Amino acid sequence: MASVPTELSKARAEKPLLAVLKGERRDPVPTWMMRQAGRYLPEYRQLRHDRGSFLELVYDSDAAARITLQPLERFPEIDAAILFSDILIVPFAIGQNLTFVAGEGPRLTPPLTSANLDDLTPFLTRLEPIYETVAKVRAQLGEGKTLIGFAGSPWTVATYMVAGQGSRDQSEARRLAYADNERFGEIIARIEHVTVEYLSCQIDAGAEAVQLFDSWAGSLSPAQFEQWVIAPTARIVAALRERHAGVPVIGFPKGAGGKLSAYARETAVSALGLDETVDPCWAASELPKDLPLQGNLDPLALVAGGEVLETAVGRVLDAFVDRPHIFNLGHGILQDTPIEHVGELIALVKGAR
């Protein structure tokens, strides 16, 4: 006689995205979009106008929960909610000051090109409102939907901490990593430690899977990629697995290209997110057959819509037809994406067209 499944296993069995993250093939393919909660939605823009700055919204757990759920309210076919927050909450908790400058992006002070890491005073309580958001979203999440938490990977977070802002080539962080390997390694270690705690607490609060965003992984040489992307990610995955057995970790090393195979093999992530520059046919052929893949529609194809979108969606779906696959974009949805094109995308993926 078959054993009676636990309530937890029943809940997971009903969630297509979680099933795929555990290695099952599901049709229609589960889908969500990176940055699906944000500026392309008029309801988000209205809330931002009414409530104030981006950081104020992140730290207002009621508002952040509402924003997290907005895409699923507009598009009920989406299979997951992704937490509304920002990867720079971690350096904010480590002790840098965080502001967002209109039209220019985030600023972290003091930048670690000149400041000493030991001069920063950690404020880990700055993470607690994020856990409140997770709990509130989980309590309101519809049946069959998965809640995804996230953090930035140590390398990408370090690039902002060192420079104090985003940069095109991450040269400040790369220069420091070469010039003072020990100092840069300590920065990575601090980020890694807080990230494990941060993601672990998100899971405790109700996140059912987590994603590590390594948006600037593509700027590194193979040796530095091994040291600053693969090794810290592997340690984070191992630590989370020890604390939360069975909770999937999605890795997204944007720009990794030919280094994806090593990343998948050595980090032991549960699933691998692919950016839009990766040939899906190559990925389907060269990456482990049992590894769930996520992606990888070009966000600009979504902006274009119509025949361009239909062709691009079909190419991704066809490439991954014989393996566990979560449909997503190759990076975040763009601000000028027409709402109706998102509806077209979902209909194409779910087989309504």
Q: Catalytic site residues? A: 35, 39, 48, 86, 160
Q: If we measure between CA atoms, which residue out of 232, 285, 277 comes closest to residue 254?
A: 277
CA 310/CA 123 separation, integer angstroms = 47
- 3-state SS, one letter per residue, for the chain: CCCCCCHHHHHHHCCHHHHHHCCCCCCCCCECCCCCCCCCCHHHHHHHHHHCCHHHHHHCHHHHHHHHHHHHHHCCCCCEEECCCCCCHHHHHHCCEEEEECCCEEEEECCCCCCCHHHCCCCHHHHHHHHHHHHHHHHHCCCCCEEEEEEECHHHHHHHHHHCCCCCCCHHHHHHHHHCHHHHHHHHHHHHHHHHHHHHHHHHHCCCEEEEEECCHHHCCHHHHHHHHHHHHHHHHHHHHHHCCCCCEEEEECCCHHHHHHHHHHHCCCEEECCCCCCHHHHHHHCCCCCCEEEEECHHHHHHCHHHHHHHHHHHHHHCCCCCEEEEECCCCCCCCCHHHHHHHHHHHHCCC
Query: 129-151 burial, b if ≥16 CB within 10 A, otherwise e?
Result: bbbbbbbbbbeebeeebbbbbbb
CA 334/CA 52 separation, integer angstroms = 21
Instruction: Determine phi and psi for 140, rounding to 5 degrees.
Output: -105, -5
